[in-house]
Chain A
């Protein structure tokens, strides 16, 4: 079933929309959740929550890509769960490594306390990503949006893993500089 047909079902409040979404995107969402949580049971629960969250959000939301839309919901739910499970015990696991790498980019506490500032930062980040060479941008997304391992990225992009490390390191540095230029200083 095409995405637009599934979204139509959501708009008509037809519960078969949920089944159609599951049929089409469960493996995709499970992969995203598992990459963050590294626990099959937790991942399954987050994916199940995704369907409910999607049902509650469409309408009014009318996603352009249903795949990315449910993927983002799964990602956020998985991060929620990851955070609640690791609130007391930091470190360990590839997600922690991913987050640690991202910490280089963090603006200071006072910059994004308010929601509109947070949106500004998101816009700035998107602008910065667009300025990157396509491959660098793609690698960044695969690593920090999908939380893919560097080994997996190397395989996908036909690069040595060492190249992935170095490219990502370079991208983080560039983004940090650009975000600072945009006024998001540490």
Chain B
């Protein structure tokens, strides 16, 4: 049977199965939910970028003066951690390729991702001294909680009162959306309200997710959801200047942080500024964590408790960045402060990583490998820059289906071109900074498949 024939055969899938799929995949979603998801992505990508700018053991200045509860601050010492159960090698090359987007049938050789960065940004962030062992986090899923309407209502009541005080939102205007249809990872209750304030409107949400209560605040302009308006807190616009240092930015936001701590009822106070560049656009995310952020690390996890403020240009010519989204994630009751498992695994030296790079044993990034084949090949042997970086990869495992884990990589950069605005285009490719088995065999088999 030819493969095209099989495609025809799929036209004979039973109608009830097609209809069932349409009810889920084909249906239109409540639009703001997509917006909220986009915000999460923005914040996650911002967080990923943080790995570029922080060294192991480095901490940032503390903003605000609130105390942190003991449970929030608990963090296991690396000496107490078990080794990864798989032994010396955390993964095989084939398993790693499978976790990084491409199925095992596609070759990840000679792949890279294009990134846009000012040249001095790279020059200031070199960090190629791996620890003796990596402390890795596993997201076991065991602390995922089912939806709890009562707990949601309690959390909402507290938030609504504060929202009225700080944002001028009438709690009675909140609508409740319930969606428990898509399995544990998309189960949430959601309440939202919009309020007009002159030329802008604010929307606020509480979404109950499997591990966290997720608060989101958006500010929109008169033109609809695509036009953002400067957000204000305490009568002051939330604005940052990207030319300021991290410390200056954190200092300028102290008043806003106090309001946000009150609004969300949390004491997260360890501030960290992350900058992200895309073309000629810069965005800044300021995160406030319950524990001091490090590079390893749990604090970059999507669900790690934090307050995040996402700043972006309002229009092309702006020199300052305006707050577009405020996002707060608080652990739900019953989820532990660390709610994950940690384990250690040996690290790979830069020399060994360079050897893999030279051999073409690279894992280019989260992009379609077939598309990557259409890119010009980049010779990374004379790379411009290298640093350690965490990549968020997924593992599908057993009943919980998806686990997320941060894995450390050497990121090698090769400059492709420099724009007039000083932003450079780099090709970035990744070599695992942890032991991977069966590398040569895997890449040989992939090369063969590509022929």
Contact = CB atoms under 8 A, between A and B. Distances in A.
Interface of A: 64-65, 68, 72, 75-76, 79, 82-83, 97-109, 111-112, 118, 121-122, 125-126, 129-130, 134-135, 137-139, 141-142, 144-145, 150, 153, 155-163, 165-170
Contacts of A83: 4
Given A100-B3, A135-B183, A138-B20, A121 B9 contact: yes
B100 interface: yes
Contacts of B142: none
Contact of B13 (A76, A141, A155): A141
Nearest to B3: A103
Contacts of A153: 25
Given A122-B9, A141-B13, A166 B394 contact: yes
B10 A97 contact: no
Given A102-B6, A108-B1, 11 more contacts: A68-B18, A68-B19, A103-B6, A112-B1, A122-B9, A137-B20, A141-B13, A145-B13, A158-B186, A163-B396, A169-B103
B388 to A, nearest CB: 21
A76 to B, nearest CB: 5
A141 B17 contact: yes
A162 B112 CA distance: 16
B13 A126 contact: yes
Given A125-B13, A160-B394, A163-B394, A102 B3 contact: yes
Given A68-B18, A158-B186, A144 B394 contact: no
B17 A111 contact: no
Interface in B402-417: 402
Nearest to B102: A165
A166 B396 contact: yes
Interface string B1-40: 1111111111111110111110011100000001001000
Contacts of A106: 1-3, 6
Given A126-B14, A145-B13, A138 B21 contact: yes
Top 4 nearest A-B pairs (CB, nearest first) are: A169-B103, A122-B12, A103-B3, A162-B101
A144 B9 CA distance: 10
Contact of B100 (A112, A135, A162): A162
Contacts, number: 127
A97 B102 CA distance: 12
B98 interface: yes
Nearest to B367: A161
Contact of A162 (B1, B6, B393): B393
B318 to A, nearest CB: 29
Contacts of B19: 65, 68
A109 B5 CA distance: 11
25 contacts: A68-B15, A75-B11, A79-B8, A98-B7, A102-B10, A106-B3, A122-B12, A125-B12, A126-B17, A130-B17, A135-B183, A138-B20, A138-B21, A138-B24, A141-B13, A141-B18, A144-B7, A144-B10, A145-B21, A156-B26, A158-B185, A165-B103, A166-B103, A167-B396, A168-B103
A108 B3 CA distance: 11
A103 B310 CA distance: 44
B25 A156 contact: yes
A170 B396 contact: yes
A137 B21 contact: yes
A65 B15 contact: yes
B91 interface: no
Contacts of B396: 163, 166-167, 170
B25 A142 contact: yes
Contacts of A118: 9
B104 interface: yes
Contacts of B102: 165
A159 B24 CA distance: 13
A109 B10 CA distance: 17
Contacts of B185: 158
B80 interface: no
Given A68-B19, A138-B20, A141-B17, A165 B10 contact: no
B182 interface: yes
Contact of B1 (A109, A144, A156, A166): A109
